[in-house]
C-alpha cells in the first residue's frame, strides 16, 4: 500500500517536473537548479497533503469544539490566501530566489579561501551515523532559534510593525499560522539561511522538520478548546498555550510587556527564559489597533502588506512613542 | 565419492550462485543514505546513513572502495563494496558534487556544482593542490588518456571547460548545446561525447580541433554515460520521466539500440557478464534493471528518494 502511494506521488511529481519545471529552468539557463526544482515540487505536493491533513483534522475541531463561536468566517478568508501561497511553496520560492544568490556567493567566497564553516557534526562526531538522533538534535536547535526569532520580532519596533499583521487576526484559526507579512517571511528565511550556514542543516531532514513544525503550528492556532492536559501543555505547544500568545490583553506584569509564550514547538524555552503565561480560560485574540488604517487592513491582503511596510518604515525613522505590545 | 558428476554440478551451481550474488550500493541523495541490494534477489536488504546532501558515488580505481561525495558536509565517505560497511571519512573536501580519478591515478578531481569551482587533489592522499574557478555550474568530467587534461561540462553556461592538469590552469572553453551534463572520452582518445540535457542529443566534439563534429540524436534530456566494457559502445541515459537508455557505437558515432527506462534514468552500472544494466531512476525512487539480452526492463527495485548512483564490484571494464 505504502509503495503504491509512493508510486502515485512520484508519478505526479515526475509529470509536473517533466512538463512544467524542467523546461522552464532549461529555458532560463538555470539547469543547476534542476535537482532543487524536483525537490521543490515535492515540497509543494507535501504542502498540499499537509493542508489537506490540517483541514481534515482541525476544521472539525473548530466546528465541534470551538474556543469562540463566530457568526461568520469571512475574516478567515485572507488567512486562507496566506496559507495557500505559503504551503504551495510560492512564498518560500520567492524568499529562496531573493536570498540564494547572495548566500551562494558568500559560501563560494569562503570555500575558495579555504574557509569551511564548522558544522554540527564537526562538534558532535558520529552524529551523521545516527539519523534519528541527528533529526531530534536539529529539531531542538531549530526550535530554539525559532523561539528567539519570534521573541525578537516582538521586541524590535520595526520587526513588530511587520509581525503585528500576524497578530491582528481576531478570528484566529488553523489558517492563521501562515498569515505573515511578506517581509517578515523574508527575514525568517534570512534567519534560517544564517543558521544553515552556521550548523549545516541537512536538507533531507529539512522537509521532515518543516512538516513536523508546520502541523504543530497549524494546530496551535486552531480555534478549539482542545488542551493537552495539565502536563501536556508544558511539553508541547498546543491551542490553549498559543492562544495566550495571541491574547488581546495580558497581565500588566513587566515580564509580559513584549508578549508571552513565544515557543513554536517546545514550551521549555518559555519556561527557561521566563516568558511563560498560561491560564485555564481561553482569551480573545488580536491586537488593539490604534488607527483606522489598521482596522481596515484586518481582512485585506494588500492593505496588510502596505500597512506593514508603512509601519516598518515609520518604526525605523522615528523614536519610540510606547513599548510594542503583543 | 559416489556421484562425482552430481557433486561437481552442485558445487559449480553453488559457485555460480555465489558469484552472482553480491551487494549493489545505491546512493539516495535526498534521504542522505545508501541502500544495499542483493543482486540475486533484486531486493533491498538494508540501508546505512551516508552524510549531508550526498551526490554521486564512484568506485576507486582498484575497486577497493565506493566513494560517496557529500556536498553539504564537505567530506568523502568510503564504503566497502563487498560488505557495504563504512570504511572511513575524509573531511575538508569542500562541496564535492561529481568525482573522478585521472587515468594515471595521480589526480582526484571534485566538481563543486553549487559553488562554481573545480578542486584538484593529489589522489594519493587527497590533499588539495589547486582550486580552479569554473563558472557556471561545473557538472561532469572526463580525462584524456595521457591524464594531461580534464574536461568539465558547465551546465549553466553551456560550455565544456578544459583544465591543464600540469599547470592546473583553465585552458579553453568551447560552446556546446543547452545544459550539457555527462561527458565521456571515446576509447581512441579522439572525441568527447557530451550529453545535452536541455535537448535530445549527444554532441560529439573533436577536442583537439575544438569543434563539434556531430550530433547523435538519442532522446529527451540526454544525460550521462557508461561504457559497455567492449571498448566500442557506450550507454547514454536520457533522464526524463518517460526516459530511456541509448546504446551508442563510438566508432560509427550512431545510436544502435534504445531501451525504455522510465522514471528519470541517471547513473548506471553494468554487470561483468554484460547481461544486465542497472540505472538509478532519480524521479521514480527506483533502480531499474535492463536485461540486455531481452532488451527490456526486467526489474524495478524501490529504493530511497532521488537515487543518484549505483555500484557493484563485478562490473564490466570501464572502457
Q: Which three cell numbers stand for residue A75?
A: 475574516
Task: Render pLDDT for A209-261 as a digit per residue (tens, 0 to 9).
Answer: 778 788 899 999 999 999 888 899 999 999 999 999 999 988 777 666 788 99
Listed by number, the residues of chain A in 134-153 with a beta carbon closer than 8 Å to a beta carbon of chain B are none
- For chain B, the average pLDDT equals 91
Contact B263 A111 (CB under 8 A): no
A20 touching B (Cβ < 8 Å): no
Backbone angles phi, psi at A168, to 5 degrees: -75, -5
In three-state secondary structure terms, A167 is helix
Tell me the β-bridge partners of B153.
B160
Q: Which of B173, B256, B187 is closest to B227 using CA atoms? A: B187
**Position B12 pLDDT exceeds 60:** no
Minimal-distance CA residue of chain A relative to B199: A26
Comparing C-alpha atoms, which of B317, B153, B119, B302 is closest to residue B234?
B317
CB of A15 within 8 Å of a chain B CB? The answer is yes
Which residues have a Cβ under 8 Å from the Cβ of A182 and sit 6 or more positions away? A91, A94, A305
pLDDT at B136 over 90: no
Query: B286 is written with which cell numbers?
Result: 527506483
User: Nearest Cβ partner of A104 from B91, B115, B284?
Assistant: B115
pLDDT at B21: 63
pLDDT tier at B261 (50, 70, 90 boundaries)? very high
Whether A323 has a pLDDT exceeding 60, the answer reads: no
Instruction: Provide the CB-side half-sphere exposure for B273 (13 A, CA).
Output: 8
Q: What digits encode the pLDDT tens for the residues B196-216?
A: 998 899 999 999 999 999 999
Please name every residue paired with B36 in a beta bridge, in sequence order, or none if there are none: B25, B46
Select from B32, B156, B240 the Cβ nearest to the Cβ of A31: B156
| Of A54, A94, A82, A102, nearest in space to A215 by CA | A54
For residue A34, the chain B residues in CB contact (below 8 A) are: 197
CB nearest to B32's CB, from A26, A39, A204: A204
- The band of A118, judged by pLDDT with boundaries at 50, 70 and 90, is confident
pLDDT value at position A32?
Answer: 61
Confidence bin at A292 (pLDDT 50/70/90): confident
**Choosing among B44, B49, B157, which should be mutated to test the A contact, i.e. which has the most A CBs within 10 A?**
B49
The grid coordinates listed for A246 are: 495571541
* Predicted local distance difference test score (pLDDT) of residue A120: 83
Q: Would you say residue B18 has pLDDT above 80?
A: no
Q: Which residues of B touch A17 (CB under 8 A)?
A: 241, 283
Per-residue pLDDT tens over the stretch B31-46: 889 999 999 999 999 9
Instruction: Give φ, ψ of B121 to 5 degrees.
Output: -115, 155
Q: Which residue of A has its CA nearest to B283?
A: A14
A89 vs B176, higher pLDDT? B176
The C-alpha angle A195, A201, A203, rounded to 5 degrees, equals: 135
Q: Which residues, 6 or more positions from B165, have their beta carbon under 8 angstroms from its beta carbon?
A: B102, B106, B107, B120, B147, B148, B149, B150
Q: Please tell me the predicted confidence (pLDDT) of residue B14.
A: 42
What span, in angstroms and rounded, lies between the C-alpha atoms of B261 and B236?
A: 11
Q: Do B30 and A6 touch (CB under 8 A)?
A: no
C-beta separation of A21 from B240 below 8 A: no
Q: Which candidate from A30, A31, A112 shows the least CB-CB separation from B197?
A: A31
Report the pLDDT averaged over residues B128-136.
Answer: 92
Q: Is A112 in contact with B131 (Cβ distance < 8 A)? A: yes
Q: Which residue in A10, A30, A205 is closest to B156 by CB distance?
A: A30
Q: What is the pLDDT of residue A204?
A: 67
In A88-156, where does DSSP find H-type helix? 90-112, 120-123, 131-155
Amino acid at each position: 500500500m505504502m509503495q503504491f502511494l509512493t508510486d502515485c506521488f512520484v508519478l505526479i511529481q515526475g509529470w509536473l517536473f517533466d512538463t512544467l519545471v524542467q523546461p522552464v529552468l532549461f529555458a532560463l539557463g538555470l539547469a543547476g537548479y534542476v535537482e532543487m526544482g524536483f525537490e521543490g515540487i515535492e515540497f509543494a505536493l507535501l504542502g498540499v497533503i499537509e493542508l489537506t491533513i490540517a483541514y481534515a483534522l482541525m476544521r472539525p475541531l473548530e466546528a465541534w469544539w470551538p474556543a469562540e463561536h463566530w457568526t461568520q468566517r469571512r475574516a478567515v478568508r485572507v488567512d486562507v490566501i496566506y496559507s495557500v501561497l505559503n504551503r504551495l511553496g510560492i512564498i518560500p520560492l520567492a524568499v529562496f530566489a531573493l536570498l540564494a544568490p547572495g548566500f551562494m556567493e558568500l559560501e563560494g567566497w569562503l570555500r575558495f579561501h579555504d574557509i569551511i564553516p564548522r558544522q554540527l557534526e564537526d562538534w558532535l562526531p558520529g552524529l551523521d551515523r545516527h539519523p534519528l538522533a541527528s533529526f531530534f538534535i536539529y529539531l531542538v536547535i531549530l526550535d530554539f532559534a525559532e523561539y528567539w526569532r519570534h521573541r525578537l520580532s516582538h521586541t524590535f519596533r520595526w520587526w513588530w510593525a511587520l509581525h503585528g499583521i500576524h497578530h491582528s487576526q481576531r478570528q484566529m484559526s488553523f489558517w492563521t499560522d501562515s498569515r505573515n507579512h511578506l517581509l517578515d517571511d523574508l527575514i525568517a528565511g534570512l534567519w534560517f539561511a544564517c543558521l544553515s550556514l552556521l550548523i549545516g542543516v541537512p536538507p533531507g531532514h529539512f522537509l521532515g522538520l518543516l512538516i513536523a513544525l508546520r502541523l504543530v503550528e497549524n494546530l496551535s492556532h486552531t480555534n478549539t478548546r482542545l488542551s493537552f492536559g495539565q502536563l501536556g501543555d508544558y511539553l508541547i505547544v498546543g491551542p490553549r498555550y498559543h492562544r495566550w500568545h495571541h491574547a488581546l490583553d495580558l497581565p500588566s506584569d513587566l515580564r509580559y510587556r513584549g508578549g508571552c509564550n513565544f515557543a513554536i514547538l517546545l514550551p521549555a524555552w518559555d519556561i527557561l527564559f521566563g516568558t511563560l503565561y498560561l491560564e485555564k480560560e481561553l482569551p480573545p485574540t488580536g491586537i488593539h489597533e490604534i488607527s483606522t488604517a489598521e482596522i481596515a487592513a484586518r481582512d485585506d491582503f494588500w492593505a496588510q502588506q502596505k500597512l506593514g511596510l508603512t509601519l516598518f518604515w515609520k518604526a525605523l525613522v522615528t523614536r519610540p512613542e510606547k513599548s510594542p505590545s503583543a | 565419492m559416489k556421484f562425482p558428476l552430481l557433486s561437481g554440478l552442485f558445487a559449480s551451481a553453488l559457485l555460480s550462485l555465489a558469484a552472482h550474488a553480491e551487494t549493489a550500493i545505491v546512493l539516495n541523495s535526498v534521504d542522505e543514505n545508501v541502500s544495499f541490494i542483493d543482486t540475486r534477489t533484486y531486493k533491498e536488504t538494508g540501508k546505512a546513513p551516508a552524510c549531508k546532501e550526498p551526490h554521486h558515488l564512484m568506485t576507486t580505481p582498484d575497486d577497493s572502495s565506493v566513494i560517496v561525495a557529500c556536498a553539504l558536509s564537505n567530506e568523502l565517505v568510503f564504503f566497502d563494496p563487498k560488505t557495504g560497511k563504512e570504511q572511513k571519512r575524509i573531511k575538508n573536501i569542500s562541496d564535492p558534487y561529481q568525482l573522478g580519478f585521472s587515468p594515471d591515478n595521480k589526480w582526484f578531481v571534485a566538481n563543486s556544482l553549487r559553488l562554481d569551482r573545480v578542486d584538484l587533489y593529489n589522489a594519493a592522499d587527497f590533499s588539495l593542490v589547486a582550486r580552479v574557478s569554473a563558472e557556471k555550474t561545473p557538472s561532469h568530467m572526463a580525462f584524456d588518456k595521457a591524464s594531461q587534461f580534464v574536461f568539465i561540462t558547465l551546465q549553466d553556461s553551456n560550455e565544456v571547460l578544459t583544465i591543464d592538469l600540469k599547470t592546473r590552469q583553465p585552458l579553453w572553453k568551447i560552446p556546446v548545446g543547452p545544459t550539457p551534463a555527462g561527458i565521456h572520452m571515446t576509447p581512441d582518445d579522439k572525441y568527447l561525447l557530451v550529453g545535452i540535457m536541455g535537448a535530445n542529443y549527444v554532441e560529439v566534439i573533436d577536442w583537439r580541433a575544438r569543434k563539434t563534429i556531430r550530433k547523435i540524436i538519442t532522446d529527451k534530456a540526454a544525460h550521462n554515460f557508461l561504457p559497455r566494457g567492449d571498448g566500442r559502445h557506450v550507454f547514454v541515459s536520457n533522464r526524463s520521466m518517460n526516459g530511456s537508455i541509448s546504446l551508442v557505437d563510438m566508432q560509427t558515432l550512431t545510436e544502435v539500440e534504445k531501451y525504455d527506462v522510465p522514471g528519470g534514468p541517471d547513473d548506471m552500472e553494468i554487470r561483468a557478464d554484460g547481461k544486465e544494466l542497472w540505472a538509478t531512476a532519480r524521479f521514480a525512487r527506483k533502480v531499474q534493471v535492463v536485461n540486455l539480452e531481452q532488451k527490456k526492463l526486467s526489474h524495478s527495485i524501490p529504493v530511497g528518494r532521488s537515487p543518484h548512483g549505483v555500484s557493484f564490484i563485478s562490473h564490466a571494464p570501464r572502457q
